[in-house]
């Protein structure tokens, strides 16, 4: 029987979602918790990967078990998991349902606070200098929907079969001092969102023009793009099936 787990996590203390040697990951914590409950090795498969320090308000994973689970299983799982990982629900799906391969799209938000706020230090990048031009950044963001190859914004040493992604939404919204970038695509490359945000901010601060932004995308060179903004402002917010 196959079950899906819907969860969220504060990524501050984790080296991303995926298990890696000698570091702590969210996937490892889930595996350990499930294996403890069932007294045998259980391995979960996630809907995707988040990098070190990145948060998730909505993440899915699946695992297989031979017996039906009780309605309060999520409660049991949360009792074992650390407090910065929370399971919302665990539910039965078809045996061939796959958390990663059946996902149609993924959405991220990048949160910036214009000014200083001690209560948001772990969940936003705080900019204390000038305010970026949101109109210019939204004009540049719309261009992302015209391209499919995003090698420019990919981490250089990464093993992928293609740099193509279908971006279906990309825009900024500002509410007071809170500035948020929203982006949705069928898939994302490593470091892609953070590199896009850094480059769009270069547009907003007048360091590059809209035309420069187009040429940066078309160059397919990470060296031409902007900085990779801090991970703490990035959230995986929605996965569509």
Active site residue 51: yes
Distance CA 142, CA 6 (A): 31
Query: And the tokens for 109?
Result: 């938000």
The C-alpha atoms of residue 56 and residue 234 are separated, in whole angstroms, by: 8
Please check whether residue 217 is in contact with residue 152, taking contact to mean a CB–CB distance below 8 angstroms.
yes
106: tokens are: 């993924």
**Cα distances (angstroms) measured from residue 72 to each of 18, 30, 75, 78:** 26, 17, 5, 10
Q: Identify whether the C-beta of residue 145 lies closer than 8 Å to the C-beta of residue 183.
A: no
Cα end-to-end span (Å), the chain: 19
Which listed residue (22, 51, 202, 212) is catalytic?
A: 51
> For strand 105-114 and strand 45-46, is the pairing parallel, antiparallel, or unpaired?
unpaired
Torsion of CA 52, 54, 60, 62, to 10 degrees: 10
Q: Give the H or E element holding residue 15.
A: none
Distance CA 55, CA 33 (A): 20
Please give the positions annotated as active site.
51
């Amino acid at each position: 029987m196959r079950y899906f787990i819907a969860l969220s996590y504060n990524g501050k203390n984790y080296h991303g979602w995926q298990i890696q040697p000698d570091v702590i990951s969210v996937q490892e914590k889930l595996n350990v918790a499930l294996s403890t409950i069932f007294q045998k090795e259980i391995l979960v498969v996630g809907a995707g990967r988040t990098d070190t320090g990145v948060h998730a308000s909505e993440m899915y994973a699946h695992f297989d078990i031979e017996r039906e689970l009780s309605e309060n299983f999520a409660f049991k799982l949360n009792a074992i998991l650390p407090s910065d990982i929370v399971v919302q629900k665990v539910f039965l799906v078809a045996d061939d349902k796959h958390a990663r391969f059946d996902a149609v799209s993924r959405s991220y938000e990048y949160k910036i606070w214009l000014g200083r706020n001690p209560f948001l230090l772990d969940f936003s990048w705080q900019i204390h200098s000038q305010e970026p031009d949101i109109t210019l950044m939204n004009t540049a963001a719309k261009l992302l929907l015209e391209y499919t190859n995003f090698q420019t914004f990919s981490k250089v040493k990464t093993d992928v079969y293609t740099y193509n992604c279908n971006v279906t939404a990309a825009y900024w919204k500002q509410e007071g001092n809170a500035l948020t970038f929203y982006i949705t695509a069928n898939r994302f490359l490593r470091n892609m969102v953070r590199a896009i945000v850094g480059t769009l901010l270069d547009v907003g601060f007048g360091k590059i023009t809209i035309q420069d932004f187009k040429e940066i995308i078309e160059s397919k060179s990470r060296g031409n793009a902007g900085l990779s903004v801090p991970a703490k402002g990035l959230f995986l917010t929605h996965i569509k099936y």
